[in-house]
Amino acid sequence: MPKLLRKSEGQPLRTAMESAGLSGPDLAEATKRVDPDGKGVSPATVGRLAGQGKTARNACELKTAWVIAEALNEPLQRLFSMPTRSTVTVERSRSDAEEE
């Protein structure tokens, strides 16, 4: 499954966190309560998705996005989007199983 992309460089996520009165570590803790596995999202991952600096990340797994959106009580689509469909088509001239 393709990774989801944060919208507007994470601004909707930061806005939702502010509205909910949650810091990064607080949101990470809240994700544990909505995660069916009880693991949640690490504070570092929340920071990378909400961040703006060099360590900021634009993409994450669907489950990560889902538990963050659930913890914030926000629609997933408000915070994250699907990547655009890739038009790259690579044809191989030989099978991966063939040896040179």
Rounded mean pLDDT, 64-88: 88
pTM over 0.85: no
Residue-wise pLDDT tens digits, 9-51: 999 999 999 999 999 999 999 999 999 999 999 999 999 999 9
Does position 62 have pLDDT exceeding 70, yes or no?
yes
Residues 6+ apart with CB under 8 A from 68: 13, 27, 31, 41, 46, 49, 79
Quickly state the pLDDT bin for 93 (edges 50, 70, 90).
low
| Domains within the chain, CATH numbers bracketed | 4-76 (1.10.260)
* Angle, in degrees to the nearest 10, between helices 43-50 and 11-20: 120
Q: How far apart are the first and last CA of the chain?
A: 32
